[in-house]
Amino acid sequence: MLDTSVVLSGLKLDNPVIPASGTFGYGNEFREFYDINVLGSFSFKGTTREPRFGNPTPRIAECTAGMINAVGLQNPGIEAVIAEELPRLRTFFHKPVIANISGFSVEEYAYCCERIDREEQVGLIEVNVSCPNVRHGGMSFGTSPEAAAEVTRAVKAVTTKPVYIKLSPNVTDIVAIARACEEAGADGICLINTMLGMRIDMQRRRAVIANTMGGFSGPAIFPVAVRMVYQVAQACSVPVIGCGGVQSARDVIEMMMAGATAVEVGAANLVNPYASKEIVEALPAEMERLGIERLSDIIGVVA
């Protein structure tokens, strides 16, 4: 009997497939396509203290083997998520959900995480440290070990649930930042977030998206993601959630062999709303082809 289950910091998932934050909303849109309970879990849209409209349009640029987005963390704010989105989610999703939290100050991260920690359906908190630190010239919290550790400590001080820090790949040394988060008390690491990219409209002589640059995602970044997952899994003892360019069951297995315990699917959901469901359904056949009885056995098998 094939076993696709995995365990993230005590949270058991039926399978390791998790739609990534920003590509699955709060689940409501995708339930019109299929029963999303087939998923291991999903990470809901990045949520901040105050509502955000996001960046000006256009926000999306297509690329070969990927896309660039600069949505700008559009979300209704933490209070609306707790009062409206989570009660609605409970009516159709019957598993613990992953809460993705963003912020522009350490205090905002701590406030939002403390609020969401009280919600019964939240099984794990995913903290996005790719946000610009407004008190330090807009530099991302995730670009320095010290800043990432500061956020980690602040969040862990006010939460009881597992906290995973989602790291940016736009750094010189991903391992140093991951280690700093682990030493500060992180229960796990999620990586990678989008890379920084840009496209130019040659007819108009200007950037395609209004924000000039944005997050580059899609299959083109998969090898970078596998490399960083491997490096962090080798260096840290906490679980890793891998993401970046995943679009097939084979990609999920490769990411797990690199060291990921679970795998997030991002841009693929925007191209094909059934992508995550199809990956879940394809996993058993791929396991049989590769002679894998339990997915948990292959986590980090590449030494």
- State the residue for tokens 């993230």: 8
Token pair 């795998």 is found at 263
Asked if 99 contacts 126 with a C-beta cutoff of 8 angstroms, the reply is: yes
Is residue 112 part of the annotated active site? The answer reads: no
**3-class DSSP assignment, residue 221:** helix
Residues 303, 14, 250, 167, CA torsion sign:
negative
Could you give the CA distance from residue 13 to residue 123 in angstroms, rounded to a whole number?
A: 11
Distance separating alpha carbons of residues 264 and 242, to the nearest angstrom:
6
User: Residues near 70 by Cβ (< 8 Å), separated by ≥ 6?
Assistant: 55, 59, 209, 210, 211, 213, 214, 215
| Spatial separation of the C-alpha atoms in residues 106 and 139, rounded to whole Å | 13
Pick the catalytic residue from 112, 131, 181, 190. 131
Tell me which residue has tokens 């920690």.
117
Entry field: residues in the chain: 303
Which amino acids are annotated catalytic?
A: 131
